[in-house]
Amino acid sequence: MYRYGDGSPFPLDENFIETLTTAVETCTNAFIPLTELDARRAKAKDLRREGDAESARLSDLEKALNTALGPSLLPGPKPSLTQQVATKIQAQIKQTIADTKKQIDHKVAQSEAAAAGKTAADAVIKALRPFFDEHQLPKAAWIMSWDVRGAEPHADAVATAGKIIANFSLAPDPYRTPIRVETLAEGVIVHMMKKGVFGKAKPAPVDLGKYVMVAFERTGLEHSVTLKENANKSSAGLRFAVSENGATWVTITAAGDTEGEPNDLDPDDVPPVRNLAERAANALKDLINRRTLIELALGGTAIEDLDDPRAVPLELLAQLTPLSRSIRDKSRMSGELVLKRDIGDGRREELFVPRATLAQQFARLPDEYRRPFEDMGITAEETQPAITLPVRPPASIAPKVPPPPPPRSDFDTKTMEYAKEDDDDQKTQVDPKKG
């Protein structure tokens, strides 16, 4: 169990310090190509403004030249040499200015194409890949599928967290071939309607132990298991969909197509099929740990189609900000983000990262790209911890010891005897063995 620095429970069962550290590093790396994209866009904007101004000047030039040629273009009784030359000059001016405007438009178009959002999409995905391959956003929902029916086995997964959708390819190893049902779960028997000798259908038990699982899919609502009768040849099979409310089944042809509509499974047959689905999910769950990010989308739009791809890393940081700020608020040590983990036997392990270490990552970015990190509360300045230890009550004041009596001025025999008696009493208190 993970805890905040003040000992209160942390809502996630993971080392969020590592998640946050990787997010800062990868988002910083993602912002670098985006700053280059901003520079290309600023250049394209300036070039567009200059191109429009140049085209306007060319139009004014064409208008002025036509005005100057106007008197020479006036028709006379018969075409004169001057009129012919003026006509040719006018046509040449028109063509030259048109060609020049096309060159300007082409150059501007090239600059704007280089400033399109998709030109930075691949670099952003590459920068963010280490985060998504190793970590996940809070409240991420996963869909995973595995299929060995084709020429090559394949597996993939989709993680959805808020607006961000991440698509992954999974390494199917070591499950590259069909899995025998009896190796996953024993006693999986269902009752299917089968035709009798005289054509009347009646329920008959079917032992699924000899079947093989060739496909599996896990969503947030149900598990789907596809079985075939034989792993070595084309054969028919069954597909079961298991949810919280029950299970359905449908027949699968040898070609892999479904026959008819899904049927509700008999209530008595649901527990063994549910157990099979859970065992299959448990066997394949580690495939997600061997994932590779292949695509990112925001709100259903692929990152390469976004006009502003910076929205993806900004959304990633925004989803981590609430937990990041709460860790800072509950960390006892100034300048650090602290989590604790219970390790048993009444012991806890402390995990921490100095905020200055994180701030070094994004310090090289422009102000607008440093701001989302600063909003997370991971700036480098030293601050007093939000949690303060209780102040000890002041120590009780000991009663004042009266000063010793002033030395006596009468040195008669009686006084000397009295002082001697006082010395004997003091010795008794210090060394009680005497007397």
Across-strand partners of 292?
169
Q: Residues 155, 33: one domain?
A: yes
User: Does 409 fall in a domain?
Assistant: no
- Is the pLDDT confidence value at 382 over 70? no
Q: What is the pLDDT of the chain when averaged over all its residues?
A: 86
- Which residue range is the domain that position 258 belongs to? 179-286
Give residue 413's pLDDT: 37
User: Does 296 fall in a domain?
Assistant: yes
User: CA-CA distance, 19 to 137, in Å (whole number)?
Assistant: 9
Confidence of residue 426 (pLDDT cuts 50, 70, 90): very low
Q: Residues 322, 364: one domain?
A: yes
Q: Residues 165, 188: one domain?
A: no
- Which of the pair, 322 or 332, is modelled with greater confidence? 322
Confidence of residue 197 (pLDDT cuts 50, 70, 90): low
Q: Residue 366 corresponds to which tokens in the numbers above?
A: 């422009």
Q: What is the pLDDT of residues 105-152, one digit of tens each?
A: 999 999 999 999 999 999 999 999 999 999 999 999 999 999 999 889
Give residue 396's pLDDT: 52
Give residue 401's pLDDT: 55
Confidence of residue 344 (pLDDT cuts 50, 70, 90): confident
Q: Which of 286, 314, 343 is the last residue of a domain?
A: 286
User: Does 127 fall in a domain?
Assistant: yes
Q: Residues 82, 230: one domain?
A: no
User: CA-CA distance, 258 to 254, in Å (whole number)?
Assistant: 10
Q: Which of 286, 311, 337 is the last residue of a domain?
A: 286
User: Does 429 fall in a domain?
Assistant: no
Backbone angles phi, psi at 340, to 5 degrees: -125, 150
- Mean pLDDT value across residues 398-403: 56
- Is the pLDDT confidence value at 165 over 80? yes
- Is the pLDDT confidence value at 412 over 60? no
User: Does 408 fall in a domain?
Assistant: no
User: Does 433 fall in a domain?
Assistant: no
> Which of 36-45, 59-68, 224-233, 425-434 is predicted with the least confidence, judged by mean pLDDT?
425-434
Give residue 419's pLDDT: 40
User: Does 143 fall in a domain?
Assistant: yes
Q: Residues 149, 184: one domain?
A: no
Q: Residues 305, 234: one domain?
A: no
Q: Residues 267, 300: one domain?
A: no
- Mean pLDDT value across residues 370-393: 68
Q: Residues 294, 277: one domain?
A: no
AA identity, residue 236: A
> Which of 16-20, 117-121, 213-217, 333-337 is predicted with the least confidence, judged by mean pLDDT?
333-337
Q: Residues 256, 276: one domain?
A: yes
- Is the pLDDT confidence value at 200 over 80? no
Q: What is the pLDDT of residues 204-254, one digit of tens each?
A: 888 999 999 999 999 988 999 999 998 877 888 999 999 999 999 999 888
Q: Residues 277, 358: one domain?
A: no
Q: Residues 81, 112: one domain?
A: yes
Q: Residues 83, 145: one domain?
A: yes
Q: How many domains does the chain have?
A: 2
Give residue 333's pLDDT: 83
- Is the pLDDT confidence value at 409 over 80? no
In this structure, how many other beta carbons lie within 10 angstroms of the beta carbon of residue 242?
A: 23
User: Does 337 fall in a domain?
Assistant: yes
Name the most confidently modeled range: 12-16, 341-345, 384-388. Answer: 12-16
- Which of the pair, 357 or 333, is modelled with greater confidence? 357
Query: pTM for the whole thing?
Result: 0.78
